[in-house]
Structure 1
């Protein structure tokens, strides 16, 4: 099973994308800027295909388990990314919240003052996407495909 993240716009420090499950637009994604040379915590995930896995360790997992005790099974991590580790799908609004991860939100906004994109209604999007992805992951391997269509 594959889900797709299609990068559609780039801001000064941010990259906006659309997330699709089974060909259906589900929400927006937000990452740091696409860079040729990686800057830790400030670089978009390289385009490619990555297996999703549950990561049940660390402080972020502990926070999300406290926030969502009824459905949290571990952070959804993109694995096998060269020179990246602990890359999750999680909630947040601006590139400052990403730390190299993929944020998701139901709506998006372009901030003209800063020249960057934001995602909003992130918690709502997170709950929806997490439940769908975790159910898919329990049935078998799930891959996230990131492509640049900028």
Structure 2
């Protein structure tokens, strides 16, 4: 299954984007994009990476208790990074170089919400398809100024439809 992540806005210490997998769409939050890696504070390089579905030593027990399952998507072959996963979280400090997913984005801050709901929706789509998954990450960044008067067009169009999830 093809996963597409388009990074749209840099806000404070985070990068906000949208992820699409078939008909499923959600917001993403990652660390800042940097030319030189700073451990736990840098988004992975744009590119195409295989995605493996596996248990995480960090998340498995906690996720299972929350009804999120035991499996977390892991990006393979990311240069200078290991253990990059797609998981639940709300702010950049939850990311540590990984990709967070959420249903909503607070356009005045670097925060996403509805992360567990988005994670469950994402996993439902990924688990429905047997075989290999891969993610394509594209930087399409607009630096957010002091105040955002209007979100970027792709995010505005998604919000105008009223939901991050297909009907």
TM-score normalized with structure 2 length? 0.78
Richer in strand (by share): 1
Larger mean CA deviation between 32-41 and 55-64 belongs to: 55-64
CA RMSD of aligned residues (A): 1.5
Contact 2:24 2:125 in 1 (8 A): no
Partner of 2:15: 15
Deviation >6 Å, runs of 4+: none
Match of 2:140 in 1: 149
State the match for 1:4 in structure 2: 4
Summarize the Cα distance change of 1:79–1:59 in structure 2 as closer, same or farther, 3 Å threshold.
same
Q: Give the whole-Å Cα distance in 1 for the aligned partners of 2:64 and 2:82.
A: 20
Separation in 2, partners of 1:2, 1:124: 20
Task: Within 5 Å, give how 1:23-62 maps onto structure 2.
Answer: 24=23, 26-62=25-61
Task: Map Cα deviations across residues 40-83 of structure 1 (whole Å, 9 max, x no partner).
Answer: 11100110011111232413222212322xx6242211111011
Distance 1:76 1:64 in 2: 13
The gaps in structure 2 that reach 5 residues or longer are 142-167
- The equivalent of 1:128 in structure 2 is 121
Larger radius of gyration: 2
